[in-house]
Structure 1
């Protein structure tokens, strides 16, 4: 009978231990390229314990997600030389998100993404008030929007996360019990596919979105010292011929002007910073780009799953590319205007002015108060559906 040597037993034990560390079960700390520790994301918040999950694909792309706010914490993807870096802003631990002056890093947004004027709307003759958290207006569902909750989470496999959350009747002033389900899927085509579904027992406005802050230089190595490089050199394309201009309080005026001949025209690739200081009222009102673009697609396709290419961002030096596809009628492009040197994130880096951009697929801002805009009202018996795909590639 052949015996097993002590060194062989040690080797077998080590292999078993390494295998156990990459299992999906909730009892182990995942080994991640990002270096994030699962224990740093396990904290009781409002009576529920947050956690960290990891999505991987065959190409080595890795996305780490915390159940606190269903937010993307890190997103490792290669440049044209095959070097991986993290392309989203965020924190090394869940407490960083809880305490941050920027509550939306990587988060799921709801019940209503973007702004509602003065936090008020009328629906079927009833008046509703949402707490103001952006001047006089309600932003992203009010001060305790979906980014503030630990979502119920299930990970059936290494590529999929399922999130559910019940927003109860009266939550932040919104009517109806809203049951929300989101599924995050990392495909072997390097796509993060996000599907949203929601149902309600009373009529209510619904406009869900995703709020990752991107920097395609990479947030670990794409820096000048300890500061991220700005995203002003990224080439941006938005497939949109019209947009919704805003008043100084960032509420849409109701007009739908063409982008042609203005700094809002991104129909062909343009560096984000090329016209950022132009003498243009909308750039002054938004302190830069913080606007909603109307996608060149039929508004009736919203929620049908029929996808359109909405946006494409390219970082020329690294070759990293981010494409955004959606079935929604609009996209909010935000250029990181309100970041500043007080934001210290992962890897000890400073998230300074305009060091990130956001591309949020959505309906128009303030739609509950703008009858000419496509409706965002969900009624009992209906199902809200929204599909968004973020794809990374190189060129």
Structure 2
């Protein structure tokens, strides 16, 4: 049985920030807060029943407000990922956005995106519905946008996430969740991240320039360091600023009502496993490249743990980045009368299929 508790987590801009905790008898629990609809904690038992928190984050609201530049755990919008030159055209009109990345480009909704506001909340049994009204012109985007984001935790330790949005004008919408995971524990760092076994259901990535702006081309991953079509140990391929790339999910986005397998991560010694399913065409695979280097001062997170580069991974299900500038990409334009629907499933479990956790199955 799922138990859901609600408590106050603090105040932001004269609004109460709520904290919601779902818990199961197995020891699994998930905590989210109404500021940024942030997933603050996911505690998962391993093969021996040892419970670890596998999500990076902070212990207090002030840290999320003042120090969460990496978007730890946050709901991101109105448009996740990058928009080249911080502009786009709709019906011959040019809209200008905040230039908040690489000097000239737009990232994750702007200076005050959906990750930096307090969402209204409604509890419906074991579901929490987070609601936000984004006004016409907010961060430069046209149209009043109404967003409802539902988190539902089930008895089998699944998190179902459902984004729904409607608009009063043609606008750009691409929403995602930006949680940072390490299945060995949020405090395990890069050493254990390198041991993760990675599988991604994608034959192509979107090619990008030096500022991570798509060129419009799709690159076949076969035989490259981007190829996770068969399971591989992450550390055998991870280097430098790999990875921060949009993978084009095989059959992703074809049916808005169908969840397609996107990716899987397994920590081999604990056998904690995360599987992701989505109805979106892409997934941004990111390995925390822009967290501090080992030689620099760490970003101090929960329980005073220092977070650093390659200490976690993100699987951000979404549309292709900069889709507004590439006619060959799935459209990111939402028009009045349409409903934006983004469904994603995070399945947390122990991989009981592995008799020998050191063996990587193809």
Q: TM-score higher than 0.5 here? A: yes
Q: Distance in 2 between matches of 1:345 and 1:261?
A: 37
Q: Which residue of 1 aligns with 2:100?
A: 133
Q: Which residue of 1 aligns with 2:284?
A: 332
Q: Is the 8 A contact 1:228 1:351 kept in 2?
A: no
Q: Is the 8 A contact 2:252 2:260 kept in 1?
A: no
Q: Which has the larger radius of gyration?
A: 1
Q: Is 1:64 paired with 2:31?
A: yes
Q: Which residue of 1 aligns with 2:358?
A: none
Change (3 A) 1:69 1:335: same
Q: Is the 8 A contact 1:210 1:360 kept in 2?
A: yes
Q: Which residue of 2 aligns with 1:116?
A: 83
Compare the two structures and name the one with the higher helix fraction.
1
Change (3 A) 1:390 1:298: closer
SS in 1 for 2:85: helix
The aligned length equals: 344
Q: Distance in 1 between matches of 2:190 and 2:64?
A: 19
- What do residues 218-238 of structure 1 show as CA deviations (whole Å, max 9, x unaligned)? 125xx4xxx674412111100
- CA shift for structure 1 position 160: 1.5
Q: Is 1:142 paired with 2:110?
A: yes
Q: Distance in 2 between matches of 1:101 and 1:50?
A: 16
SS in 1 for 2:235: coil
- What do residues 171-202 of structure 1 show as CA deviations (whole Å, max 9, x unaligned)? 10000000000100001121110001000000
2:199 aligns with one of 237, 247, 272: 237
- What do residues 63-91 of structure 1 show as CA deviations (whole Å, max 9, x unaligned)? 11110000000111100001111000000
User: Unpaired runs of 5+ in structure 2?
Assistant: 352-362
Q: Distance in 1 between matches of 2:168 and 2:70?
A: 29
Q: Which residue of 2 aligns with 1:88?
A: 55
Q: Is 1:264 paired with 2:226?
A: yes
Counterparts of 1:46-57 in structure 2, within 5 Å, are: 46-57=13-24
SS in 1 for 2:264: strand
- What do residues 37-68 of structure 1 show as CA deviations (whole Å, max 9, x unaligned)? x5xx212x233221211112353321111100
Q: Is the 8 A contact 1:196 1:387 kept in 2?
A: yes
Change (3 A) 1:253 1:203: same
Q: Distance in 2 between matches of 1:160 and 1:299?
A: 25
Q: Which residue of 2 aligns with 1:296?
A: 250
SS in 1 for 2:254: helix
Provide the aligned C-alpha RMSD in A: 1.6
Q: Distance in 2 between matches of 1:358 and 1:237?
A: 13
Counterparts of 1:235-384 in structure 2, within 5 Å, are: 235-277=197-239, 287-297=241-251, 299-301=253-255, 304-340=256-292, 341-384=297-340
Q: Is the 8 A contact 1:51 1:66 kept in 2?
A: yes
User: Unpaired runs of 5+ in structure 1?
Assistant: 1-21, 30-37, 278-283
My pick for the range that moved more, 62-71 or 338-347, is: 338-347
Change (3 A) 1:311 1:23: closer
Q: Distance in 2 between matches of 1:371 and 1:59?
A: 48
Counterparts of 1:113-262 in structure 2, within 5 Å, are: 113-135=80-102, 136-157=104-125, 159-219=126-186, 223=188, 229-262=191-224
